[in-house]
Amino acid sequence: MSRPPFGVALVGYGFMGAAHSQAWRVAPRFFDLPVEPRMSVIVGRDLARVEAAADRFGWAESETDWRRVIERDDIDLIDICSPGATHVEIAIAALEAGKHVLCEKPLANTVDEAVRMADAARRAAARGVYAMVGFSYRRVPAITFARDLVAAGKIGELRQVRALYLQDWLVDAEGPMTWRLDKDLAGSGSLGDIGAHAIDAVQFVTGRRVQGVSGILQTLVNERPLLGESIGLSGTASRERGLVTVDDVALFTGRLEGGVLGSFEATRYATGRKNAFRLEFSGSLGAIAFDLERMNELEFYDGTDPAGLRGFRRILVTEPEHPYMAAWWPTGHGIGYEHPFSHQVRDLLVDIAAGVQPRPSFDDGLQVQRVLAAVEASSASGSSWVAVDDSPETQRQ
């Protein structure tokens, strides 16, 4: 059966642009989708670079002005993978033009921007136009499976959660300045870049929101060499140095709904840790543990086993019975970092076709933004406790 075409435009061609391009190419070939996504156009400010990206990633056209793309009748969805400072303007304009939107996390650089985006998304949803935030780790099969186990009561009454996201790509103090270290462009550092993933994953698996936090942020390296061409682009380091205006390390504790306690750490200075996203959920009857560096595994502790048999067991999350896995390889064969982006495309298009709000919604993204802001406020004031704003905008989810 032929499926209706669905034109996609991608804004941004860096790391996330590559990951999203891979997903748009692959998802239609492994999942039965209600529409036929077409990789119509990729957008970037540098003409030569965006043309090269279009050729490399498989986009039909390239463009340097996202406004012209939004005006096109053949474009149904705008996929935003550009720096955080650009999200609010592009997303609102796209939604008002009747385009569905997929926007990378964190939703915005500030709560005010996120509120405006969430408001625009609600107005658009009333017209059948939908927006989703790209918290792709929700769609790692092992994390989705962990959510299912918690919901089924397999670990009993949830009591504590621990979430750590550890990377080391900034350990070299002479490494070059990038846009991710500029608050005006990125909004925040480790807190928003990877800490946002930890917050969303914890809330997704537990089904409970973070209600208050106590945290500390710290910048470990205050300036870095600028690149010869421009910040964030390839080139040789110059003698000029740029000021780092974001956090390098974020540590905070939190209380979730129902009194569940959480501890969180996000750092890009954990020497030797490349992409260690670690989650642990402890309950009255058992526990679950996950590490992205072993992303096809989940550890499960059953406290109801006889004492002599208790211990964490390894579950290889590669079976057709596990979330998303029936679409991929034979039993026992693992998947990689890129696959959750294909799952994201699949879920987004299925929900749009069904007229159902895709999750995480912009309201979900706004709620995570409020947690980030509360951590920043706690660190700046030295306050031991800052409540997460729970205004009506976060209730319409």
Residue boundaries of the structural domains of the chain: 5-136, 141-294+296-335
CATH number of 141-294+296-335: 3.30.360.10
Return the pLDDT at 393.
Answer: 46
Helix (H) or strand (E) holding 239: strand 237-243
Instruction: Give, as one character, the DSSP assignment of residue 194.
Output: I
Summarised one tens digit per residue, pLDDT across range 354-395 is 999 999 999 999 999 999 999 999 999 998 899 998 765 444
Q: How far is CA 138 from CA 128, 197, 204, 205, in A?
A: 24, 9, 7, 8
Residue 397 pLDDT grade (very low, low, confident, very high; cuts 50, 70, 90):
very low
Return the pLDDT at 103.
Answer: 98
Summarised one tens digit per residue, pLDDT across range 220-269 is 999 999 985 444 444 454 569 999 999 999 999 999 999 999 999 999 99
Decide: 176 and 226 in contact? Cβ < 8 Å.
yes
Check pLDDT > 50 for residue 110.
yes
Identify residue 263 by its one-letter amino acid code: S
* Residue that the structure tokens 């509120």 belong to: 115
Q: How far is CA 151 from CA 91, 206, 296, 326, in A?
A: 33, 8, 20, 21
| Reported pTM | 0.94
Return the pLDDT at 392.
Answer: 52
Strand 36-43 relative to strand 5-11, pairing:
parallel
Grouping H, G, I as helix, E, B as strand and the rest as coil, residue 121 is helix
Check pLDDT > 90 for residue 32.
yes
Summarised one tens digit per residue, pLDDT across range 260-295 is 999 999 999 999 999 999 999 999 999 999 999 999
- Residue of higher predicted confidence among 396 and 371: 371
CA nearest to 16, candidates 75, 104, 102:
104
Return the pLDDT at 227.
Answer: 82
Cβ within 8 Å of residue 188, ≥6 positions away: 106, 109, 246, 247, 372, 376
CA nearest to 28, candidates 18, 39, 19, 41:
39
Return the pLDDT at 119.
Answer: 98
Other residues' Cβ atoms within 10 Å of the Cβ of residue 157 = 10
Return the pLDDT at 233.
Answer: 43
Summarised one tens digit per residue, pLDDT across range 128-186 is 999 999 999 999 999 999 999 999 999 999 999 999 999 999 999 999 999 999 999 99
> What distance in Å separates the CA atoms of residue 268 and residue 263, rounded to the nearest whole number?
17
- Residues, the chain: 397
Burial pattern 144-156, b for ≥16 Cβ within 10 A else e, equals: bbbbebbeeebbe
Summarised one tens digit per residue, pLDDT across range 84-102 is 999 999 999 999 999 999 9
CATH number of 5-136: 3.40.50.720
Decide: 205 and 147 in contact? Cβ < 8 Å.
yes
Residue 332 pLDDT grade (very low, low, confident, very high; cuts 50, 70, 90):
very high
pLDDT, mean over the chain: 95
> What distance in Å separates the CA atoms of residue 224 and residue 242, rounded to the nearest whole number?
5
Question: Mutual orientation of helices 111-125 and 87-96 as an angle, nearest 10°?
Answer: 10
Return the pLDDT at 293.
Answer: 96
Decide: 204 and 311 in contact? Cβ < 8 Å.
no
Cβ within 8 Å of residue 282, ≥6 positions away: 155, 158, 159, 160, 161, 162
> What distance in Å separates the CA atoms of residue 192 and residue 212, rounded to the nearest whole number?
17
Helix (H) or strand (E) holding 351: helix 339-354
CA nearest to 70, candidates 11, 5, 114:
11
**Counting beta carbons within 10 angstroms of the beta carbon of residue 354, is it exposed (0 to 12), middle (13 to 18) or buried (19 or more)?**
exposed
> What distance in Å separates the CA atoms of residue 173 and residue 171, rounded to the nearest whole number?
6
